Amino acid sequence: MSVPVRSLHFADVREAEDLAAFLARLLHYDRAAAVRLQAGGAEGPAPSLAVFGRPPSFEVLAIRTARLGEPLRLDVTVSAGELLDGIGGDGFTVPGSVTGPPWTGVLPPRGGWRELPGLPGVTEMRAAVTAAVAEFRSRAERLPAEHRTRAERDRIGREIWSREVAGTPLPLRAVHAAHSLGFLRPDLPVALLSSGPWLRLRTPYGSIAVRTNGLGGLSVIPTGTG
């Protein structure tokens, strides 16, 4: 369904800056990225916008919320690049809708989340990602020339990034995605939540959601730690 182009406002300029940074990181991994926008639900008393994206190579969904200056009802999939271009000051323009990829129809639930114990702190999780990236590179470099194929690199990546974090059911690829998108910042609280088949790594700067039966169709070669 087409959505008329219209200008809206964030609660303050910092919300605009944080959302712009998130969109820029998504576009770094996929210049043609689409995002699904939702607003008008029952997440809390203040109006907010939820932005869902799927960075390639991680098999996760990334979620960034932003407080809005006025109530809004919205549910549309748009170009991440056009949304980024439409952000300025404390306002933004909702682009026209696009045909969304299949993942946009399979989002995590809004409610029913419960916290799971055992998640390590940010420092430990960042260190685990750094060690995993180094392991991947080392193992890939040691492959005999005849085995240096995309399939073999994917196999190594799947093995490493499917490992569970500190005895929790959270796969390491979710932590890698949170780190790469700038969600895992030092000295901030983090939590691991579950609802049905979904797990959610929640931080003050955004969340990473992953289905326990996978989202399918993506390789998990590490794309860096920045």
Residue with tokens 């797990």: 199
Supply the pTM of this predicted model.
0.87
CB of 109 within 8 A of CB of 198?
A: yes
Return the pLDDT at 213.
73
Q: Which H helix or E strand runs over 94?
A: strand 91-94
Mean local confidence (pLDDT), 156-163? 94
Delimit the CATH 3.10.150 region(s) of the chain. Answer: 6-105
Cβ neighbours of 25 (radius 10 Å) = 21
Q: State pLDDT tens for residues 141-156.
A: 999 988 889 999 999 9
Mean local confidence (pLDDT), 181-207? 94
Mean local confidence (pLDDT), 177-194? 93
The domain defined by 6-105 folds into DNA Polymerase III; Chain A, domain 2 (3.10.150)
Band (pLDDT 50/70/90 cuts) for residue 214 is low
What percent of the chain clears pLDDT 90, i.e. is strictly above it?
73
Residue type present at position 104: T
Cβ neighbours of 75 (radius 10 Å) = 14
- Say which residue, 168 or 70, is predicted with more confidence: 168
Tokens standing for residue 136: 């991947």
- Say which residue, 193 or 39, is predicted with more confidence: 193
